[in-house]
Structure 1
Amino acid sequence: MTDFLQVYAGLKAVLFDMDGVLTSNSPFHEAAWKDVVQHYFQVQIEDGDTRIHGGRAHEILTVLLGRQVTQEEALDFHEHKEARYRELAQGNIQPLEGLHAYLNFLTSKGIEPVLVTSGGIPNVALVLDAFGLQETFKLRITGETVKNGKPHPEPYLTALQKLGITAQQALVHEDAPAGVRSGRDAGCRVIALETTTGAAELYALGAELVVQNFDQLLERLQTPQEV
């Protein structure tokens, strides 16, 4: 066990997933998935199905449909699903509690915030514009940046490579199983947000700490505890 503040002592960067981490926007994604999967494939997604979070459309559809999905099918579906998500989310998303205060804390420590998301550039722009964070996240690894999406470690390995740092110098924030696996397999420590997945599952996947939001994380930073 390590004293909580020591987690940050040697950090050069904190790597943030976007959906479910910067913002608790899963209701909009879930609604978009339900609408478009029903329209395209006549498949009903149950409330709270965590399989639709944190990965790429091709892999998620393969699991949901129980069959191989062509790249053409996945691309067409993805474009319509993302457009539907942006319709629902525009003007309605809010930053996760404590996000801006936590980013200020990182800046005060000289720790760079980096975005590592499966989302595409239009979705990234929607969130960063809404929260005034375009200048905060200068390095962004998006769905267009890498060949292999989460749970493959490539997104986080790419971020480390571009930063020129080791996994031990970075900390990952994730909310979904695929993202936690991606961060852990890249060699990074993970502090997870319990926005889309239960704490027990996140701990089982290797998260060292699970919090509900960044206000709670900042409280832990100010309290001599172990993680």
Structure 2
Amino acid sequence: MSDKPRIQAVAFDLDGLMFNTEHVFFLSGDALLQRRGKEMTEEILKGMMGRRAMEGFEHLSSHLHEPEDPHELWVESQEIFHSLLHQHLKPMHGLFELLDYLDELEIPKCVATSSPRAYLEMLLEQFDLTHRFPITLTAEDVTHGKPHPEIYLTAAEKLKVDPKQMLVLEDSEAGTKSGAASGAYVVSIPHEYSDYGDFSAANLVANTLADPVLLALFTDRHA
């Protein structure tokens, strides 16, 4: 686990890794639950993070006094989420610096997210990042959601690298397990909404996308 990998490509998660959407999601999820006399808890959030929308809202529904249709909960949550997005959305620290560094090294990259494609495209367009990710994978592109390894195995195939030569950047327990199960080298970057998770499957745990421990993985990568 400690051996330095020969990184030939990088797969980025989206929510909580590239942007602080988990913060906005927490706010919208809490507002959704408060309408039902409950509040967001660590248990509920942990069961939703890193998973596809319907899987996450099935989990949320199971914690209500009376379970509701996951799709209807998702629609209501999206309305709240988008009302908060403009005010609260920010890129995570070090994102643009890391992207510039990867471009300088000519290391191909992709986004591999459990979120829907329309949502991904909206975020990338908002920060003028669409052209920097010619390869993107979303919930619609896989049969099995994280922590199943399908999305990262597909990412390695699209990037034309062996999974062992691909770096996966994740912020959640489910995503970390997905990357590890694919055989990729996983660096987890937990934040305040995910740091209670189990990151033992990660090869490294970093503080930010600008962490020197992360950047050092690209030094002499062809050695």
Deviation at 1:110, TM superposition (A): 1.6
> Taking every aligned residue pair, what percent have the same amino acid on both sides?
26
Secondary structure of residue in 2 paired with 1:214: coil
Per the normalisation by structure 2, the TM-score is 0.82
Residues 98 and 183 from structure 1, CA distance in 2 versus in 1: closer, same or farther, beyond 3 angstroms? same
The CA distance in 2 between the partners of 1:185 and 1:134, in whole Å, is: 28
The CA distance in 1 between the partners of 2:22 and 2:147, in whole Å, is: 18
Residue type of the alignment partner of 1:189: Y
Q: Deviations over 1:99-135 (max 9, x none)?
A: 1111111112221120001111232123212322111
Residue type of the alignment partner of 1:90: H
The CA distance in 1 between the partners of 2:184 and 2:204, in whole Å, is: 13
What residue number does 1:186 align with? 182
8 Å CA contact 2:187, 2:214 repeated in 1: no
What residue number does 2:202 align with? 207
What residue number does 2:40 align with? 45
Aligned pair partner of 2:53 in 41, 57, 64? 57
What residue number does 1:88 align with? 84
Q: Deviations over 1:134-157 (max 9, x none)?
A: 110111101121121111111112
What residue number does 1:144 align with? 140
Secondary structure of residue in 1 paired with 2:7: coil
Residue type of the alignment partner of 1:103: L
Residue type of the alignment partner of 1:83: E
Aligned pair partner of 1:109 in 94, 100, 105? 105
8 Å CA contact 2:24, 2:88 repeated in 1: no
The CA distance in 2 between the partners of 1:55 and 1:121, in whole Å, is: 14
8 Å CA contact 1:180, 1:190 repeated in 2: yes
Residues 19 and 142 from structure 1, CA distance in 2 versus in 1: closer, same or farther, beyond 3 angstroms? same
8 Å CA contact 1:102, 1:218 repeated in 2: no
Residue type of the alignment partner of 1:165: V
Residue type of the alignment partner of 1:181: K
Q: Which runs of 5+ in 1 are unaligned?
A: none
What residue number does 2:19 align with? 23
Deviation at 1:200, TM superposition (A): 7.4
8 Å CA contact 2:189, 2:205 repeated in 1: yes
Q: Does 1:131 align with 2:103?
A: no
The CA distance in 2 between the partners of 1:193 and 1:91, in whole Å, is: 24
The CA distance in 2 between the partners of 1:134 and 1:91, in whole Å, is: 22
The CA distance in 1 between the partners of 2:154 and 2:215, in whole Å, is: 29
Residue type of the alignment partner of 1:79: V
Q: Does 1:75 align with 2:71?
A: yes
Per the normalisation by structure 1, the TM-score is 0.81
8 Å CA contact 1:173, 1:190 repeated in 2: yes
Q: Which runs of 5+ in 2 are unaligned?
A: none
What residue number does 1:167 align with? 163
Residue type of the alignment partner of 1:197: S
Q: Deviations over 1:189-226 (max 9, x none)?
A: 11011213227732x2x11111221222477529x9xx
8 Å CA contact 2:170, 2:189 repeated in 1: yes
Aligned-residue CA RMSD (Å): 2.7
